[in-house]
Structure 1
Amino acid sequence: MKSLTSADFSHNDLSGRVPETGQFAYFNASSFLANPQLCGPSILNPCNMSASSQLESDRQHRSFKLQLPGKSKFLLALGLLFCSIVFAVTVVIKTRLMMKRNVKSWKLTAFQKLEFGSDEIVECLNDNYMIGRGGAGIVYRGTMPNGKEVAVKRLLGISKGSTHDNGFSAEIQTLGKIRYRNIVRLLTFCSNKECNLLVYEYMRTGNLGELLHGKRAGYLNWEMRLRIAIEAAKGMCYLHHDCRPPILHRNVKSNNILLDANFEAHVADFGLAKVFERHRNF
């Protein structure tokens, strides 16, 4: 803009030294009226060292003020990140402590020598391992560290703390002492104030109802059906006539007849109808 010979910068509250080079050499004092912080030969207000120092200090202060918000945001973000990490670590530690405390609070009643404990049993309570659900409870499949497969039944409809009420534990122990070839063996009873678990030997082939009416219907020939019926009848006969006191099943159906890998029948859920009738909260 070498052709510019006049300009008006008045009443703008400008500050600092007015340049003396270029087109500014053509501007006079009238171009800078009402800017008391300006200095320079063209406005008859010479700049001294103290004023220059003050102007430089003001410039640095303004630069710091402009940079401060960015630093503040960084420090704020860093603080929030640190707090989030501390919170996450605290939650993880508390969760692990609670899990350990819950495992320790489990009471295990074993009916034979076991090579696993309550912590391995509780790990089976996962929806990915669920293999059945009924009025008595939810059944999960689990594999113990020694490779043994078990079925864990989480009892439903029994109130908290009922393991000590009205002889519930005594009846469960009676069921756990039964040893007969055609009856599913109850391995252990695991309980705390929140939950009751029954751990049985696992029957690999599943239940008779599925083989008769499910996707695999028609798989059993008449010879196998007759053998299964006889074996189931033997199990029922043992419960009714050889147990002291006798145990009434009260819920005989094909879904409660389980089959092992050799298609041998085993009566399941024996005695639970009586237990639930006595201890269920209505």
Structure 2
Amino acid sequence: MIEIDLTMPRLFTEGPGELKVRIALESGSLTVLTGPSGAGKTTLLRLLAGLEIPHNGRIAVDGRVWLDTQQRVNLPPQKRSIGYVFQDTALFPNMTVQEAILFAAPNGDQDFVNQLIDITGLRAFMNQKPALLSGGQRQRVALARALVRRPHVLLLDEPFAALDSQSSQTLRQVLLELHKLWKTTTLLVSHHTQDTRVLANRLIQIVQGQVERDEQCLNDELPPIVEPITHILYQEEHRQWIIQTATSQLRSTNPAWGQRRAGDLILVNRSI
């Protein structure tokens, strides 16, 4: 359980006011924060992460107090078990995909890094640097980097905002699978109604720093992902075909795959 009770003055789009949020989030839930720009959604994430300090407030995560202004408790960001994915991925330009995730991994846990690379569909791009990645691929790297520390809470600040529809759909699928696998309590800031339909257990709408709407959600199924083949080869050693798309690398011993060609469409099944 995450208990949040925060108050702080803030200048909103409509003018000065007070951010005043009191909510409790079930452990393992995925909550979408929505509302107009400048309403306080990102501020709430920053308060949870310890990047800003409220005038008054308390944050407790699974019984551990991260913040209590009355008791003068305020854990620094590095002591809070938080994974944070910004709209700007903030990847190191000189690090490959694998290096960026491994750099954030506690004790250099290579096995877990490899697991994340596979689940996020980054195996084919693990030796590439950010300049050679698409926006959707960079966001998946940022997501894997945030999760490699196995945080109690995952914060996502509009990760789909700058992506095209196909990249957004792929990232939603990856996020949903990771959430099903590890049940990390997640707060997602988004303006996309599809995020609520297919991802959220709960929707909280914030308007000028106040919770205006708070309701449970029934998820829809994500549509299947179909992508064009960019490259195909046969691996003699393992007697299998390897097909690469813009987001994934697929393998099969099915001889029918030998009839496929670059440009053909293929279903990318991301089921765990």
TM-score (norm 1): 0.21
Greater strand percent: which structure? 2
Higher relative contact order (CA 8 A, sep 6+): 2
Greater CA radius of gyration, 1 or 2?
1
